[in-house]
Structures are given as C-alpha cells and as structure tokens.
Structure 1
Amino acid sequence: MTNLVGDVSSAARILPELNGEKLFIRNGKGAYLWDDRGRRYIDTALGFGAVLLGHANDAVNAQVAQALADSASPSWAHVREHGAATALARHTGALTKVMFTNSGSEAVHLACRAARAYTGRRKIAKMAAGFDGWFDDVSFGNVTSAEAGFQDGARPSTERTTLIRFNDFADIERLFTEDPDVAAVLLEPMLANAGCIMPLPGYLQHVQDVAHRHGALVICDEVLMGFRLFPGLAGLREGLDPDLASVGKAIGNGVPVSAVVGKPHVLAGFEEGRVTRGGTFSGNPLACAAVTSTLAQLDSQDYAGLIQRGDTLRDALENRFAAQGIHVVTSGYGNVFGIWPGAGAPTAGAPAAGAPSTYQQASSIADPAFSSALHLALREAGVLVMPSPYGRLYLSFEHDDDVIEEMIAAFDTAARRMSARFATR
C-alpha cells in the first residue's frame, strides 16, 4: 500500500509499466535521466518543458544553493527579487511589471484576476482543448473533455469561463456578439497540450484585434512556449502586443518559479492595493536566483542550432517509421513537437498526410494505443517520451548532435518493433 495518492503528486507523471516494472527516477544530468536501477534514458519531457539548459545545470544549481544557504524564506523583501524581476522584464517588451508566483497555474490565475479587476468584466475566454492550469476556472474545456469539441451555437460557458475554438477565425467574432462580459482572451501561441497544433497564418493577430476592438484584454499564456524559441515571449516573436502574459517553466530551468508580466497601467491596481495578491513562497530567493542565472545563460544560447537539430530529428523519425510502413507526421517546432499517426482517410477537410490544424482534426486521429506503444518501445530503447496522444517531445541545449543520433537510432528500433502492429502497407 502506498500513502501517495495514485503513486504520484501530479497525474502527468503516471506512466505504464514496462515488463512489470514502474519507473522511478533517481537523478538527472544534461540530456539524461537515471532510474532507481541505474538505467540511463534520454529525456524528452524535461520537466514538461521547464528544463531548457539541461538537467542539473551547474551555474543555476550553484546560485540556488547559495540562496538556500542564505535563507530559503526570509519573509520580507530580499536582495534577489528586484534583480530577477529586472532580468525577466528585459525580455518581455512592453510588459514591464512583474509579479512572481510558484507555478504556471498560479500565474494564469493571477493574470485572470488582473484582467477582471482592470475591465470590470467577469469572464475569461480560453482556447478549447488548451491547458492553462488545473484551477477550476481555466481547466474547463481542457483537451479530451466533452466541452472541448463543441459545435457552432453550443458554446460551453460557466459563470467565469467561456470557450473559443483555436484557428477558427469566425468563432472569436461570434464570441463577442454572444457575450459582452469577456474580460480577456487567454491565448496560447501554439495549442501545445493538444499535441502542438500550430496557429494558422494571421490567426493570433486576428484574435488580438477582435479582443481589443471589444474592450477585452489579451493574456498570452507563455508558461510552456515562453523562452523556448528565443530568449523572450513567443507571442512577441509573432508580432503580438498582449496586455498580460503568464511565464514559467524555462525561466528557472526546473526550479519552481513562474510570473505574471504586464503593462503598468493594467497592473496598477496591485501596486495601489486595490487588488489582492499574496503567496508565502512567491518570489522566494531560490526561485529568483534560478531566474537570474537561467536568463543570463539563455541570452547566449544557440537557439537556431537547437531548433535545427530538432528538425533533423523530426525528419529522421518520420523517415524511419515510413520505412517500416508506418506513416507518422510531426507538428510544432524543432525543440518542442508532437507526433501523430497519420495513416487513414482524410478528416474534416484535412488530408491524413498533414498535421492537424484544429482540435477536431487532432481528436479524430489521436490514437492512445499507438502513443502508448511508442512510449514503451522508446523507453526500452533508452528514450523517455510522454505516453499521451497529445504529448510533446522537448529538446534542451544539452541535446547535442550525439544525443540526436542516439534518439534517431532509438526511433529506428521502435519503428521496427511496432511495424507488425501498426504498419499500413
């Protein structure tokens, strides 16, 4: 009997058994993890996107260790907090005000509070099938939920949350004719937790333009994609001008930290004491040390090289599976992407040979059996991937050419093992 509910503290950590054994990680370094039996794996979950410099980065660890030695929780304002906020704000454009929190879910929750306080409106519109945290308001309509696949005229809505369809230009227009009480649109630069569905050309700008035209704010949820493509916000790279953003994960290289960044006039209510915030551990010395050290290193990293290595991996794995009669496609970017089994008839007007561009298409080709079999085959070959059809593969700056070659060989092995069950030729 275990005292830990479901064996884990977060449901995302649940993995199938391999040869009757559960996986328990002992330690990690660089691109690798080791389990409790000493077996080594190439990691592609990387703290679900948090570990961008590689596991146990020496510089980050040294700064965090010093902060721990100085006092993990001094209660009052401390010497590391302003420096970390300044370092973060240098990367976030016009979003120059910073409030630290501890998790991405907290950051999104606080950003939504800011939007409601500023506009006086109640509802947040989020992308159906997007994941913006596990709090009740924004977990509504998450991937695989019944609400996520809603049809025209049947928009799911609660007192505080309503849904819009990603990549549907007309749906965001309809939203504001149906409901004038929307305080903000919560926008992901890529629908990452639905398998890395990419935005159509012009879609993100269209959502922002419609929201602003109707007096609603735009919140970029950058917890996953922030600092993944370059040292800054993915939304800014796409030319957006959001009012608020939630950031986290990669800004601390695995140390628990997140933040809300916003335009000064939007966050003025917090500075003036009109809007409540708190958090004993928000902006703690360990988190601030991690942010300062991580961002300093990200500024000098070769993002283009990392993304190119990932694109090489994507092309290779698609070719390795095709050689075994299994058609797969990938979607996303070089350093964060999803894998889709692509065989079958065209669905919703999209050819099966292409990656899905809507959640409706994604849900029609998602294959839990394929994703689970891929996870187990790769795990046996020494690579850890998420077992969900909507999972993602992340690469860190420690995933160098040699690691990519190891991964390609593992995918080749996995494709051969899976061919008898999934080959379509």
Structure 2
Amino acid sequence: MPNLVGDVSSAARILPDLKGEKLFIRNGKGAYLWDDKGRRYIDTALGFGAVLLGHSNDAVNAAVSQALSDSAAPSWAHVREHGAATDLAKHTGELSKVIFTNSGSEAVHLACRAARAYTGRGKIAKMAAGFDGWFDDVSYGNVTSKEATFQDGQRPSTERTTLLRFNDFDDVERLFAEDNDIAAVVLEPMLANAGCIMALPGYLKHVQAIAHQHGALVICDEVLMGFRLYPGLAGLREGLNPDIASVGKAIGNGVPVSAVVAKPHILAGFEEGRVIRGGTFSGNPMACAAVTSTLSQLDNSDYEHLISRGNTLREAIEAIFKAHDLIVTTSGYGNVFGIWLGAVAPMTYEQAEKIANPAFTQALHLALREAGVLIMPSPYGRLYISFEHNNRVIEEIKTAFEQAADALSGTFANA
C-alpha cells in the first residue's frame, strides 16, 4: 500500500491514468518535462503558472544553489532578503512594503490578516468560484462548490468570509448594503481558476470604488497573474489602486516563494509588532535568490512576443477543432488561457458552470498526453506558455492538437 495519500501532496496534481499508467515526472528543462519512462512532453501547466522563464532556468538554479551552499536556514536576518524585497517593490508601485511568505495560499492569508488588523473588521469578501488559496477561510465558495452559485438575498457567508458574484456590478453594492463588517474585497484581474473568465470593462474599478467608499480595503490576488503580462502587477495595469496584493508563482520561476506587498501604512502594525507574523522558511535565502534572479530576467524579457505567440496558438486551436467539426473557444490572455467546448466563452461563473464539460476536457487531456503535450484535465483548467515556448514549440503543440481533435471529433462532434 502506498504511503503517499492519493499519490500526491496536492490534489491539483491528480491526473487520470493513460492506458493503465500513472504519470510521474522525473525532470524538466525549458518547455519540456520527462517522465519516469523517459518520455518527453511539452508542458502547458508550468507549475500552475509558476514557471515563466521555463523549467530549470540556469541563472535561477545557479543563484539558488549558491544560496543553499551558503546556508539554507540561517535563522536570523540574512544578506539576500533586503535585496529581494527591494527588487520586488520596484515592480509594485505604491505597494512598497514587502513581507515574504512561502506559498500563494499563505500570502493571501497574511493579506487578509493585514486587512482585518488595519480596519478592525472581521470579514473578507471574495469572488464566488475564485481560488485564493486552500486555507479554510478563503477556500469557501471555490469553483465547483455548492456555495459558488447563489441567488440575490441568499448570499453564502461565514463568520469570516462572504461571497461576491464576479462581473455582477450590482452585487457588490448589495454586499455593502447588507454587511458593514467587510474588511477587504479580494480581487483577481480575471477569474483564472474558473477557466479564465475575463472581467467586464469597468468591473474591477467599480468593485474598488464601492469597497473604498465603504471603508474596506482592496486586496489584489496576483499570485497567478502577477508578472505574467508584464513585469509587474496585472491590477496596476488595469488602473487599480489596491491597498494590498499577494504575489507568488512567477516571481521565483518555480522555487517556492510568495509575498504580501502593501502600502506602508497598511503593514505598519506588523512593523511595530502589534500584528503577528512568522514562518521559519519565509524569506529564506533560496527563495530570495530566486526572486532576484527571476525578476532581473523578466525585466529583459519580450512579453509582447510571448503573448503574441500565445494568441497565435489560441487562434490555431479554434481553427483546428473547427476543421474537425468541433466548435471550441478560448478565454484569457495569450500566455494563460482556457478552452471551452462551445462558440461563446463565459463571462460569469453561472455561464461557465453550464458549459463546463469534464468528459471533453479529460478526453482532450488524454489525447494530448498521448501526443506529447500536458494540459490540465479540468474544464476550469488553463494552458500556460513560458518564454521557452518558442515558435518551434508552438508548432509542436499545434500538431498535437491536430491529433487530439481528430481523435475526439467522432465523440464530441456538434456537441
């Protein structure tokens, strides 16, 4: 009997068997992963968005290796932490104060603590079907949960968390009319973990305006989208003025690291010791080395061409399926997008729930895996591309989609 629960330590890693075989990854480099049998795959999960420079980036690996050699856990303040915080803050505008943490979930948790401490209020409002980490408070109302859909006047809520409908302009006004204990609203630039549902024009600014009008803070959850569209926060690019942001994933290119960034007055309680924080491995030397090396490379990376390559791939995927009598559409950005079986991408979670097709997505995952491409098997999953996904790799992905569309056309045609 295996000792590892369900074969994995994170449920997101669970994949269906292919011809009776489980997938175990041995190593990765650039755009590729190799399994324990030596088979090569193009990776489009990319550490669920963490690997933006490509797997096993030489410069990041060298910096982390040096930090590990110097001391993995020196306990006290060390020479890399201030530099990494300065490098990060150069990219986050007025959110100039930094606390490093270890995971995106932990960063969101600490951001929520900061909001509660600063406002003296108890509740955090999050987007229904949004994923802001797996800790109890913010995992409430996650995608596919029964709480993620609700009618007016029946808002799901706990003592510490309440929900908002994404892209519903009126619902945020109703929220503050119903509840005066909201410390902060957690915003994502798009509802990424619900299949890359894009925000309607003006929606994010509307939520921010209503929250600030009622004395609540705005937390931008940038763990997934931060540094993916350009070297900075996606919310700032959308014209938002958040009070706090959680960042992670891409800032370390796969090395476990995340952070809370905020306006100085918001985090003053932590600096003065009035609000608790901790974490043996928070801001450890390897994480800080990864941040410094990763950000220096992202500053010199061609995001415009990366996103253009991804948009070319999106268009090709839609055209390939159409040629096989299957209509699919994509939603998101060039370097992170979802695939939907149908002609119209959803703009709300309620729409997404109706068109989500787990059978199609799992069949597509298996067909692509057989063709040498790894994608998430969930209907709410995403495809990522990294800076190592060059034109040749994109062409390889297109070829795999040709094979997959041909294999699926008989089963899902005219669906």
Taking structure 2 as the reference length, the TM-score comes to 1.00
SS for the counterpart of 1:33 is strand
The answer to whether 1:143 aligns with 2:133 is no
Distance 1:397 1:110 in 2: 31
Q: Provide the residue aligned with 1:24 in structure 2.
A: 24
Cα deviation for residue 151 of structure 1 reads 1.1
Q: Provide the residue aligned with 1:243 in structure 2.
A: 243
Distance 2:324 2:58 in 1: 41
Cα deviation for residue 161 of structure 1 reads 0.1
Cα deviation for residue 424 of structure 1 reads 1.0
- For the aligned residue pairs, the C-alpha RMSD in angstroms reads 0.5
Q: Provide the residue aligned with 2:403 in structure 1.
A: 413
Q: Provide the residue aligned with 2:383 in structure 1.
A: 393
Q: Provide the residue aligned with 1:309 in structure 2.
A: 309
Distance 2:143 2:152 in 1: 18
Q: Which runs of 4+ in 1 moved over 6 A?
A: none
Distance 2:162 2:188 in 1: 15
State how 1:3-402 maps to structure 2 within 5 Å: 3-342=3-342, 353-402=343-392
Cα deviation for residue 399 of structure 1 reads 0.2
Give 5+ residue unaligned stretches, structure 2: none
Q: What letter corresponds to residue 227 of structure 1 in structure 2?
A: F
Distance 2:203 2:191 in 1: 12
Cα deviation for residue 133 of structure 1 reads 0.3
Instruction: Write the deviation string for residues 335-359 of structure 1: whole angstroms up to 9, x where unpaired.
Output: 00000000xxxxxxxxxx2210000
SS for the counterpart of 1:108 is helix
Give 5+ residue unaligned stretches, structure 1: 343-352
SS for the counterpart of 1:93 is coil
Distance 1:62 1:341 in 2: 43
Cα deviation for residue 317 of structure 1 reads 0.6
SS for the counterpart of 1:387 is coil
Instruction: Write the deviation string for residues 150-195 of structure 1: whole angstroms up to 9, x where unpaired.
Output: 1111000000000000000000000000000000000011100000
Q: Provide the residue aligned with 1:345 in structure 2.
A: none
Instruction: Write the deviation string for residues 109-157 of structure 1: whole angstroms up to 9, x where unpaired.
Output: 0000000000000000000000000000000000000000111110000
Q: What letter corresponds to residue 261 of structure 1 in structure 2?
A: V
Distance 1:229 1:152 in 2: 35
SS for the counterpart of 2:276 is coil
Distance 2:268 2:109 in 1: 17
* Total equivalences in the alignment: 415
Cα deviation for residue 33 of structure 1 reads 0.1
Distance 1:381 1:151 in 2: 43
